[in-house]
């Protein structure tokens, strides 16, 4: 469901400018839906109106978040369960801080792989896919937040 | 400018703390691995170190010990996920100043850093659970916080009974259970109450300097001994010396300690002269010393000397009545520290508090409440400000145990044998839930080895994730 919504927004973005206004409205709605998957207010409370600091943290989140998703993918291919656990452990702090709550349970389960031997990789794969899907939506939303913050 | 070293493999945390602490006026260095963090410590001095418990190259316990070898005085704050809280609490006994759980809140860390620097500057080398649980006195000089459970009251009653004597007392209990609180209560009700009370965390003293720390040294007795030094025994003369985690003392120190107890004399490192001391010894341990005696790592004669009277302090989970008594005390303490005015816990929070096993005992309770107060936006302390692991523990226990999701239904119900099997299953399941399905930790909670736990899981068909 989430994926369909996300990719339909992506398709709209790729189209020529025929229904420009309509498209923008839908895009706005999609991005505002993306913001339902995270919450910047705890981070903003720490920053105390320091926009540069907020931007720095959003860029850092995007960079490390994307790297970690790539790492989860490659560890899944090699079935490196311990490393999956370690990557999930690294992700948990920022995901919790941005209240990306739809991923927390899966990340916590993956974190257990640091200690669990021979997991059921079908279950692991399901968790990683969910984290990836939600993360992609969140990344889009955060990218938009960055654009808004950087636009004078 | 005070300097902080942040060691964490997650760039997000390093960036957040670096920028935040710099804004607060600190100099900050970051390191993404344990090795690079230790390298920085060897070349620069820092006022405090924030160190992740799970680094990719070196585990938290080893990091702490390496940091203490390089710079013994530097306070170390352990940053950990909630699943490692029990371990983190035990690191306090090994010399860490404090632990904080993820997700991190920079304001909370800032406050801890400030108190760590203050404590190390004031010469408080080995802060221990006393700092967390220090009994405050009111104008009448009486404690205004105490446990309400029969078990805690019994422990305090025993403390009161033994206080006026000069008997050595061995206090047994888990880390964070309040052993130092009881030791302090003994001292304060003894004839030595106007003399010093010195608390020493034996687990936090590096082995190679334990002799000098306890008994003192004279100038030139070893490299670095640039002045004469008074040890804890002399500092406590006339008063009480509380030796926490006494099982961690080396065999050589045990010999000197025994002599101090038997003959009431000590000698400083590098000095042949003996010094007469009048010190009452209170000792504490969180492990069964009888096991250490049987494997010859603890002297039996010393054990009997220290164990003239025993006080057993049960863990917090076995004295539920104390949870709210101490909880409200910590709430007031946090209100005062953070300049907040949270009136009380709401009903759901109380329910969760009473269900949660508190393996980190009073220290964990205090830290959870302090963070909750920091995050609270309303007049009541609600469950929303609790770590998700604590909230989930309550719901997991309820759903999984009551719905029996993880168990295959037993063939028949009834009879004593079935009752004990059900109790054993429930204990295993509770341990697995509180260890978040980490079997090593669950085995530790149950006091059985990992292999036995695996066999039980198989025997009872207990399903675990993955």
> How many angstroms separate the Cα of B372 from the Cα of each of A105, B10, B267, B338?
21, 24, 49, 11
Structure confidence at residue B135 (pLDDT): 41
Distance from CA of A21 to the nearest CA of B (A): 37
Residue B234 in domain? yes
Long-range contacts of B205-213 (CB under 8 A, 24+ apart): B205/B95, B205/B126, B206/B68, B206/B69, B206/B72, B207/B250, B209/B72, B210/B249, B210/B250, B210/B253, B211/B252, B211/B253, B211/B256, B211/B269, B212/B269
Say if residue B339 is in the same domain as residue B377.
yes
Q: Could you tell me the two tokens for B230?
A: 């008074």
- DSSP at B409: P
Question: Where among B314, B345, B377 does a domain terminate?
Answer: B314
Residue B215 in domain? yes
Q: Do A46 and B106 touch (CB under 8 A)?
A: yes
Q: Beta-carbon neighbour count of residue B397 at 10 Å?
A: 18
> How many angstroms separate the Cα of B80 from the Cα of each of A92, A103, B18, B119, B444?
11, 20, 18, 22, 19
Question: Where among B53, B88, B121 does a domain terminate?
Answer: B121
Q: Which residue of A has its CA nearest to B53?
A: A89
First and final C-alpha spacing in chain A = 35
Residue B107 above 80 pLDDT?
Answer: yes
Handedness of CA B348, B353, B354, B357 (dihedral sign): positive
Residue B31 contacts by C-beta under 8 Å, 6 or more apart in sequence? B5, B6, B7, B37, B39, B40
Interface test with A, best of B21, B103, B389 (most A CBs within 10 A): B103
Say if residue B183 is in the same domain as residue B294.
yes
Say if residue B33 is in the same domain as residue B102.
yes
pLDDT band at A21 (very low <50, low <70, confident <90, very high): low
Residue B377 in domain? yes
Say if residue B236 is in the same domain as residue B258.
yes
Say if residue B156 is in the same domain as residue B273.
yes
Q: Which residue of A has its CA nearest to B440?
A: A115
Q: Could you tell me the two tokens for B227?
A: 């002045």
Instruction: State the CATH number of the domain containing residue B98.
Output: 3.40.50.2300
Residue B322 in domain? no
Say if residue B172 is in the same domain as residue B62.
no
Q: What is the mean pLDDT of residues B73-89?
A: 82
Domain total of chain B:
3
With CA atoms as reference, report the closest residue to A42 among B248, B329, B253, B105. Answer: B105
Q: What is the mean pLDDT of residues B383-405?
A: 62
- What domain range is B223 assigned to? 130-314
With CA atoms as reference, report the closest residue to B97 among A86, B71, B294, B455. Answer: B71
Residue B363 in domain? yes
**Using a CB-CB distance cutoff of 8 angstroms, which residues of chain A are in contact with residue B10?**
64, 90, 93-94
Q: Does this model's pTM top 0.80?
A: no
Interface test with B, best of A58, A65, A90, A120 (most B CBs within 10 A): A90
Contact of A93 with chain B, judged by CB distance below 8 Å, is answered with yes
Q: Beta-carbon neighbour count of residue B144 at 10 Å?
A: 12
Residue B353 in domain? yes
Instruction: State the CATH number of the domain containing residue B450.
Output: 1.10.8.60
The pLDDT tens digits of the residues spanning B197-251 come to 999 888 777 777 888 889 998 888 777 777 888 899 999 999 999 998 898 898 8
Instruction: State the CATH number of the domain containing residue B303.
Output: 3.40.50.300
Say if residue B18 is in the same domain as residue B50.
yes
With CA atoms as reference, report the closest residue to B431 among B405, B410, B456, B459. Answer: B456
Q: Do B436 and A119 touch (CB under 8 A)?
A: no
How many pairs of residues across A and B have Cβ atoms under 8 Å apart? 75
Interface residues on B facing A, Cβ-Cβ cutoff 8 A? 9-13, 15-16, 19-20, 23, 54, 56, 81, 83, 102-107, 388, 436-441, 465-466
Q: Do B103 and A123 touch (CB under 8 A)?
A: no
The pLDDT tens digits of the residues spanning A52-111 come to 999 999 999 999 999 999 999 999 999 999 899 989 988 988 998 898 989 988 998 898
Contact of A46 with chain B, judged by CB distance below 8 Å, is answered with yes
Say if residue B393 is in the same domain as residue B434.
yes
Q: What is the mean pLDDT of residues B139-159?
A: 71
Please give the backbone phi and psi of residue B293, each rounded to the nearest 5 degrees, phi first: -70, -45
């Amino acid at each position: 469901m989430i994926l369909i919504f996300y990719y339909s927004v992506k398709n709209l973005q790729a189209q020529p400018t025929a229904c420009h206004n309509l498209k923008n409205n839908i895009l706005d709605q999609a991005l505002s839906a993306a913001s339902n998957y995270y919450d910047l207010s705890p981070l903003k409370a720490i920053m105390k109106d320091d926009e540069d600091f907020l931007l720095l943290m959003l860029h850092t989140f995007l960079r490390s978040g994307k790297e970690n998703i790539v790492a989860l993918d490659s560890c899944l291919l090699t079935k490196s369960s311990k490393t999956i656990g370690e990557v999930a452990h690294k992700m948990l702090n920022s995901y919790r801080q941005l209240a990306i709550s739809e991923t927390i349970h899966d990340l916590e389960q993956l974190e257990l792989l640091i200690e669990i031997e021979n997991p059921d990789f079908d279950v692991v794969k399901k968790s990683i896919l969910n984290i990836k899907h939600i993360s992609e939506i969140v990344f889009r939303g955060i990218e938009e937040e960055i654009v808004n913050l950087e636009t004078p | 400018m005070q300097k902080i070293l942040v060691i964490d493999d997650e760039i997000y945390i390093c960036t957040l703390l670096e920028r935040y602490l710099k804004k607060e006026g600190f100099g900050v260095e970051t390191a993404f691995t344990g090795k690079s963090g230790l390298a920085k410590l060897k070349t620069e001095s820092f006022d405090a170190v924030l160190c992740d418990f799970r680094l990719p190259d070196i585990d938290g316990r080893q990091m702490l010990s390496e940091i203490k070898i390089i710079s013994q005085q530097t306070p170390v704050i352990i940053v950990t996920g909630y699943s490692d809280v029990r371990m983190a609490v035990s690191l306090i006994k090994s010399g860490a100043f404090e632990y904080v759980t993820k997700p991190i809140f920079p304001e909370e860390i800032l406050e801890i850093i400030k108190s760590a620097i203050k404590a190390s500057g004031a010469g408080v080398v080995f802060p221990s659970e006393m700092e967390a649980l220090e009994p405050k006195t009111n104008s009448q000089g009486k404690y205004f916080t105490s446990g309400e459970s029969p078990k805690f009251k019994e422990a305090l009653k025993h403390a009161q009974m033994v206080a006026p004597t000069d008997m050595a007392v061995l206090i047994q209990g888990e880390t964070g259970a309040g052993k130092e609180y009881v030791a302090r209560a003994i001292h304060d009700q003894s004839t030595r109450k106007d003399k010093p009370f010195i608390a020493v965390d034996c687990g936090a003293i590096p082995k190679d300097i334990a002799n000098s720390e306890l008994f003192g040294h004279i100038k030139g007795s070893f490299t670095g001994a640039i002045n004469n030094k008074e040890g804890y025994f002399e500092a406590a003369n006339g008063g009480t010396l509380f030796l926490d985690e006494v099982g961690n003392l080396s065999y050589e120190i045990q010999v000197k300690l025994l002599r101090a107890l038997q003959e009431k004399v000590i000698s400083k490192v590098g000095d042949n002269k003996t010094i007469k001391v009048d010190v009452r010894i209170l000792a504490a341990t969180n492990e069964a010393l009888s096991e250490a005696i049987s494997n010859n790592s603890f002297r039996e004669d010393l054990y009997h000397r220290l164990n003239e009277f025993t006080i057993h302090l049960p863990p917090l989970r076995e004295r539920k009545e104390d949870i709210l008594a101490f909880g409200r005390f910590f709430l007031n303490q946090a209100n005062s520290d953070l300049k907040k005015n949270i009136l009380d816990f709401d009903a759901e929070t109380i329910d969760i508090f009473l269900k949660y096993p508190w393996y980190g005992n009073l220290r964990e309770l205090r830290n959870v409440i302090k963070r909750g107060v920091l995050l609270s936006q309303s007049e009541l302390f609600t469950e929303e400000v609790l770590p998700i692991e604590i909230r989930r523990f309550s719901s997991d226990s309820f759903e999984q145990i009551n719905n029996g999701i993880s168990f295959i239904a037993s063939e028949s119900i009834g009879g004593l044998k079935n009752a004990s099997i059900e109790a054993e299953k429930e204990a295993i399941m509770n341990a697995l839930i509180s260890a978040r399905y980490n079997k090593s930790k669950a085995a530790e909670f149950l006091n059985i080895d990992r292999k036995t736990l695996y066999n039980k899981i198989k025997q009872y068909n207990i399903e675990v994730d993955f």
